[in-house]
Amino acid sequence: MSRSLKQVAVLLVALLCLDPHGRVGSAPICAHGPSGCHVPSLADLFDRVIQHSARMHSLSNDLHSEFEQYFLPSKNHIGKIYRKCHTSNILTPNGKENAQKLAREELTEVILKLLMAWRDPLFQLHQSMADQQDFNSFSSNKALEMGDMAHELRKGVEKVAEKMRVLGMLGNSVTGLSAAEAMLPLSESGEAMSDYELLYCFRRDSNKVQNYLKILKCRIVPEHDC
């Protein structure tokens, strides 16, 4: 009895393995070019990335205002003063015209640098917010989501840059894409920044990233007198 069962099992396995239809194969998506599936254009990629950055910025704004309500009940915008963020060392264009004057490669590099610089601090922020009992789970979830978004956004921007390079829009002078180092969020005095400071700085930097992407898109993809 057991022998026959074994034989049957062997037969089944052989059938499954040898049968070409029984095998589950993975075919690459869009292997056959435009006819196979829809390949997003550069404009679509930019739109997606910009939407993503907008979402990230709104999240950071929500968290920041929550934090302000928590720790700064007064209406005074005392907090909105000069703070030195850890990303202040990165030279970023401070205006629209400055950003427009900047080269595409540099602009892309700046974006990637910023996003890379915030990889670890966001994770750290989420950890500290989750540990503290002052925040509800909703806020800590937002922080986690924010960190994930930053990570995804960075990946997206890298893809966009790759595509631009493929299309010849970017020169090969961009070297900082891979050299973006992760920076430790250290304040002026060398101490670790607080949660509020992190939130304040990230809110500012996410707004920067969003605007830079818009400017970049406008320059790369020419549409209605951008």
Partner 1 sequence: MAYSLLLSLLYLGMLCGNGLVSARSELFTPDPSRGPHFTGCRSREQETFRCWWSAGIFQNLTEPGALRVFYMTKHALSEWQECPDYTRTVKNECYFNKTFTQIWTSYCIQLRSVRENITYDEACFTVENIVHPDPPIGLNWTLLNVSRSGLHYDILVRWAPPPSADVQMGWMSLEYQVQYRVRNNSHWEMLDLESGTQQSIYGLHTDKEYEVRVRCKMTAFDNFGEFSDSIIVHVAQIPSKESTFPTTLVLIFGMIGVVILLVLLIFSQQQRLMVIFLPPIPAPKIKGIDPELLKNGKLDQLNSLLSSQDMYKPDFYHEDPWVEFIQLDLDDPAEKNESSDTQHLLGLSRSGSSHVLNFKSDDDSGRASCYDPEIPNPEDLATLLPGHSGRGDNHPLVSRSSSSIPDLGVQQTSEVKETPIQKQPAVPSWVNMDFYAQVSDFTPAGGVVLSPGQLNSSLEKKKEEENEKKIQFQLVSDGAYTSENTARQLSANVPSSPGPEQGYQTFPTQAVEGTSERGVPGCPPSDSQMPYLLPEAPPSPILPPVSDYTVVQEVDAQHSLLLNPPSSQPAICPHSPNKHLPAMPTMPMGYLTPDFLGNLTP
Q: Report CA 142 to chain centroid distance, whole Å.
A: 15
Residue 141-180 contact track with partner 1, rule CB under 8 A, x = bound: ----------------------------------------
User: For residue 57, which amino acid is it?
Assistant: H
The mark string for 106-145 relative to partner 1 (x by CB under 8 A, - otherwise) is: ----------------------x---x-x-----------
**Is residue 63 within the footprint of partner 1 (CB under 8 A)?**
no
Residue 10, judged by CB atoms within 10 A of its CB (0-12, 13-18, 19+), counts as exposed
Terminus-to-terminus CA distance in the chain, angstroms?
Answer: 79
By beta-carbon proximity to partner 1, the closer residue of 19 and 191 is 191
Query: Which is closer to partner 1, CB of 15 or CB of 72?
Result: 72
Q: Does 71 bind partner 1 (CB under 8 A)?
A: yes
- Residue with Cβ nearer partner 1 (41 or 51): 51
Angle at 90 between CA 163 and CA 85, to 5 degrees: 125
* Min dist. Cβ of residue 73 to partner 1 (A): 11
| Contact window for partner 1 (CB under 8 A) among 25-33, 71-79, 103-111, 178-186 | 71-79
Q: Between 83 and 163, whose beta carbon lies closer to partner 1?
A: 83
x-or-dash string of contact with partner 1, 10-49, rule CB under 8 A:
----------------------------------------
Site for partner 1, residues 80 to 109, rule: CB under 8 A: 80-83, 88, 92, 94-97
What residues are paired with 192 via a beta bridge? Answer: 186
Q: Which residues bind partner 1 (CB under 8 A)?
A: 50, 54, 57-58, 61, 65, 71-72, 75-83, 88, 92, 94-97, 128, 132, 134, 194-196, 204, 207-208, 211, 214-215, 217-218, 224-226
